[in-house]
Amino acid sequence: MVLDKLGSTLRKGVTRIGNAIFLDKKLLDSIVKDIQKALIEADVDIELIFELTQKIKKLGLDENIKGIDKKEQLVTLIHDEIMNILGGEAKELQLKKKTKIMFIGLYGAGKTTNIAKIGFYYAKRGRKVCAIGLDTDRPAAMDQLEQMCEKAKIPCFVDKKEKDPLKIYESYKKDLDKYDLVLVDTAGRDGLNKELIAQIEKIDKKVKADLRLLVLPADVGQTAKTQATEFQKALSIDGVIITRMDGTSKGGGALTACAESKAPVYFIGVGEQIHEIETFNPRNFVNRLLGMGDLASLLEKVKSATDEKQAKRIEERLKEGKFTLRDLAGQLEQMNQLGSMDKLLSMVPGMGGAAAKIPKSELEKQEKKMSQWKSAISSMTEYEIENPESLEKQTSRIARIAKGSGTTTTEIRALLKQYKLLKEMMNMQNPEKLASGQIDKKMMQKIAKQMKGKVKF
Ligand SMILES: Nc1nc2c(ncn2[C@@H]2O[C@H](COP(=O)(O)OP(=O)(O)OP(=O)(O)O)[C@@H](O)[C@H]2O)c(=O)[nH]1
Ligand SMILES: [Mg+2]
């Protein structure tokens, strides 16, 4: 997927918001910092990033909004703001029954390739498409268009000898009338200069294109703003195709820059193959970046990851400095609802990073162990649950619990060991520090090591 780094950071941010027990300033700062870094890497304008993250912080720190409401509003804000900087609500490219599209852009932007891609795209959707080559500047331009159109299986009109694009057009005019979508290839330049403007205007006077689409490569990043604005001023373009989104991390910059210069992006190129083109719609794009079909299902996920009562309870427990097997069981329960071990780890502030380093097979093994531990806990007496230390060296009690829960004494001991470790962790941290995700590094390493199975249970 394009912009996958930005996507994974945003998904992580949203997940951390959903899973957070304490959504405080430190946690928020750390999420905002990650989002900022990812947006900078995607080459998004620093001012846009600043505005966006200020909004997240302002809402995040608003004392009047609490709990799940705040989580929902934050996720909605991130979703909507990213969608807005990508261009907001957008319409699909509207084609008339008969449409001529002229492709405009600098050298190597992707005009010729995208004529074939878009031709292929619309031909598949039932349009009668053809292409015409009017790039008489570059020697191999006609051959390239021919080859590309052959791949797309669309007819293509070229003249390898004629040097006047207007004459080429005139000679095929009657043929072109038979098609309902005509794609016009034009020559590029190193930069937008008077000569290119004059040439395009001259061709367009003849062709009378319904749409002029600017082709921009994604690797220009946010400088796309200058290009889009200049082309818009000089040639009144109707929209943009951003190509090579697959080969750069700067695509975010190109997309947001076009949105800023009010040039709608209609398509993005995501690979060299003929079918590797996608219609661009900011809403769908952001939904995909966030890893969800739509905002509603994203919010649903955030809601189901939130157990307000559980969070309150743990918060109180931590403040009291208490942590019993019941709390551990509660966490296991919540983890089971969420469905995976890494969620449990990310619920413990500061543990998200450790979870990411654990291989999946190991997590599955741990999940199985967790379910055994859960049945072990349910075979204990109230007193044992509240005071797990009382079980230490009590071989007969441990054997009873093992038997009652269909596990082994080794597993019960492992559970007690894990509990001790977690308790140690809780005790070592003051609650504020823990809430902000500042878990002692050594302790985190110790837990991560155990989870990795280096310490045998
Ligand atoms: N990876 C990748 N490569 C692309 C994409 N779109 C175009 N390209 C490549 O970009 C290069 C330039 O594309 P062209 O279509 O020749 O560009 P042009 O604008 O017609 O260039 P000129 O005719 O020289 O002005 C080619 O090697 C294409 O294969 C894309 O979406 N992804
Ligand atoms: Mg070309």
Question: Which amino acid is located at 348 in the chain?
Answer: V
pLDDT tens sequence across 400-415: 999 998 999 998 988 8
Question: Which amino acid is located at 56 in the chain?
Answer: I
Q: Are 422 and 328 in contact (CB under 8 A)?
A: yes
pTM summary value: 0.71
- Residues with a beta carbon under 5 angstroms from ion ligand 2: 111-112
Q: DSSP letters of 79-104? A: HHHHHHHTTSS-PPPP--SSEEEEEE
Instruction: Name the H helices within 269-351.
Output: 282-289, 295-304, 308-320, 325-338, 341-347
pLDDT of residue 277: 93
Which of 91-100, 277-286, 287-296 is the least confident region? 287-296
Q: Which of 102, 103, 113 is the pocket-test mutation for ligand 1 (most atoms within 8 Å of CB)?
A: 113
pLDDT of residue 79: 93
pLDDT of residue 392: 83
Answer yes or no: is pLDDT of 290 > 80.
yes
Q: Are 274 and 299 in contact (CB under 8 A)?
A: no
- Which atom of ligand 1 is closest in space to residue 185's alpha carbon? 20
pLDDT tens sequence across 311-348: 666 667 666 666 777 777 766 665 554 444 554 454 44
Mean pLDDT to the nearest integer, 406-434: 73
Cα-based angle 74, 77, 82 (whole degrees, multiple of 5): 130
* Fold annotation for 307-451: 434 Repressor (Amino-terminal Domain) (1.10.260)
pLDDT tens sequence across 151-178: 999 999 999 999 999 999 999 999 999 9
| Ligand lying closest to the C-alpha of residue 273 | 1
pLDDT of residue 436: 43
DSSP state of 304: H
Q: Are 98 and 150 in contact (CB under 8 A)?
A: no
pLDDT of residue 351: 47
Q: DSSP letters of 216-279? A: EEGGGGGGHHHHHHHHHHHH---EEEEE-GGG-STHHHHHHHHHHTT--EEEEE-SSSTT-EEE
Please provide residue 266's backbone torsions phi and psi, each rounded to the nearest 5 degrees: -100, -35
Show me where the domains of the chain are located.
4-89+291-303, 99-280, 307-451
Q: How much distance in Å is there from the Cα of 88 to the middle of ligand 2?
A: 31
- Which atom of ligand 1 is closest in space to residue 135's alpha carbon? 23
Which of the residue ranges 12-21, 294-303, 363-372 has the most confident prediction, judged by mean pLDDT? 12-21
Which of 157-161, 226-230, 299-303, 348-352 is the least confident region? 348-352
Ranges of beta strands (E only) in 105-228 are 129-133, 156-157, 181-185, 211-217
**Number of residues in the chain:** 457
pLDDT of residue 414: 85
Domain 4-89+291-303: CATH superfamily is SRP54, nucleotide-binding domain (1.20.120.140)
pLDDT of residue 105: 95
Answer yes or no: is pLDDT of 349 > 60.
no
Question: Which amino acid is located at 399 in the chain?
Answer: A
CATH of domain 99-280: 3.40.50.300
Cβ 250 under 6 angstroms from ligand 1: no
pLDDT tens sequence across 180-198: 999 999 999 999 999 999 9
Q: Whose CA is nearest to atom 1 of ligand 1?
A: 271
Closest C-alpha among 257, 271, 107, 130 to residue 196: 107
Q: How much distance in Å is there from the Cα of 102 to the middle of ligand 2?
A: 12
Joined together, the tokens standing for residue 102 give 């002229």
pLDDT of residue 425: 64
pLDDT of residue 270: 92
Joined together, the tokens standing for residue 325 give 């097997």
Mean pLDDT to the nearest integer, 228-240: 92
